[in-house]
């Protein structure tokens, strides 16, 4: 089915596929497990009324569908436009000898930037889920191969940890999402939308141990063929102890993520109770 979808994008405009997708989203809203969590986010965190919250869930699902379809469109060779906010800071980090951490999230379409924006001088090492289909992995490999991105699949034996360390030791870029804990007990609790939420500790610990800069990168969908890349530098870690520095970085990231989610409330793809 995924291969057929890629062939379809070679023949059909994006807007037509978006329109068909929009018709089936109400069925997902009725039967998908994440509806309650999404609805509660708009009601309790964003402060929307019932009707606006229901519409918010629909728009959230619709945006998710578009960014997923855009990835397959990219595999089919379709081009997208990118505007970069904060490019000078990113280019400045590329000129430094040390590596740095590029922290993203399940917001917008972070992966799409790696398909089209080439990193000159430093290889990007992207931590990815290893359970994707062969079609997706082949599509990723083809696109990433042209933009100096290497995939580090998450491994059960935790060997990806050594690959992440090695990337920073070699002065390269490490790209990881920072808004999912995946059941790990090693977490940091930070204020987020008015209440403390859990964020994964490992990435912030690694940045502190290696003493490397961190930059938040968010990619938002702006139009049918257009995206905007937001490069938000995290301030240097504050505090005397390693624990304080990790918490300082995590709090800065959580604040930046909240800022962007409030700006684009229908592009954060979280379908469980993030504050539980």
Tell me: pLDDT of 108 over 90: yes
Q: Is the pLDDT of residue 227 over 70?
A: yes
In this predicted structure, the answer to whether residue 79 has a pLDDT above a threshold of 80 is yes
R_g (Cα) of the chain, nearest Å: 19
- How crowded is the C-beta side of 229, counted as CA atoms within 13 Å? 24
d(CA 66, CA 68): 5
Q: Please give the C-alpha separations between residue 157 and each of 193, 225, 243, in angstroms, as whole numbers.
A: 35, 39, 26
Q: What is the pLDDT of residues 248-275, one digit of tens each?
A: 999 999 999 999 999 999 999 998 889 9
Phi, psi of 13 (to 5 degrees): -65, 150
Are 162 and 189 a contacting pair, CB within 8 Å?
A: no
Would you kindly state where each structural domain of the chain is located, as residue ranges?
2-75, 81-263
Q: What is the mean pLDDT of residues 113-136?
A: 81
CA angle 49, 51, 52 (to 5 degrees): 65
- The pLDDT, as a whole number, for residue 225 is 93
- At 123 the pLDDT is 92
The pLDDT, as a whole number, for residue 265 is: 97
Residues in the chain: 276
List the beta strands (DSSP E) in 69-148: 81-85, 100-104, 124-128
**CA gap 115, 54 in Å, rounded:** 33
pLDDT of residue 240: 83
Asked if the model's pLDDT at residue 155 lies above 80, the reply is no
**pLDDT at position 101 over 80:** yes
Average pLDDT, the chain: 90
Give pLDDT tens digits for 162-221. 999 999 999 999 999 999 876 667 899 999 999 999 999 988 999 999 999 999 999 999
């Amino acid at each position: 089915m995924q291969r057929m979808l890629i062939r379809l994008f070679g023949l059909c405009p994006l807007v037509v596929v978006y329109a068909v997708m929009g018709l089936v989203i109400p069925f997902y809203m009725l039967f998908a497990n994440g509806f309650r969590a999404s609805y509660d986010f708009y009601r309790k965190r964003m402060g929307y009324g019932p009707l606006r919250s229901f519409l918010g869930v629909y728009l959230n699902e619709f945006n998710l569908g578009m960014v997923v379809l855009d990835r397959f469109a990219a595999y089919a060779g379709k081009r997208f436009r990118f505007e970069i906010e904060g490019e000078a800071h990113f280019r400045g980090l590329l000129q430094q000898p040390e590596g740095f951490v590029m922290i993203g999230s399940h917001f917008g379409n972070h992966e799409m930037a790696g398909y089209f924006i080439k990193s000159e001088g430093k290889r990007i090492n992207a931590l990815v889920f290893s359970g994707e289909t062969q079609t997706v992995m082949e599509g990723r490999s083809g696109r990433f191969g042209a933009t100096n991105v290497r995939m580090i699949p998450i491994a059960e034996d935790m060997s990806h940890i050594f690959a992440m360390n090695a990337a920073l030791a070699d002065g390269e870029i490490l790209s990881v999402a920072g808004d999912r804990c995946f059941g790990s007990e090693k977490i940091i609790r930070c204020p987020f939308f008015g209440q403390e939420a859990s964020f994964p500790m490992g990435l912030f610990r690694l940045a502190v141990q290696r003493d490397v800069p961190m930059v938040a990168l968010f990619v938002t969908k702006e139009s049918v063929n257009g995206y905007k890349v937001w490069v938000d530098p995290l301030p240097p870690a504050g505090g005397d102890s390693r624990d304080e520095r990790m918490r300082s970085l995590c709090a800065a990231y959580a604040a930046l993520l909240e800022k962007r989610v409030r700006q684009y409330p229908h592009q954060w793809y979280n379908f469980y109770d993030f504050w539980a």
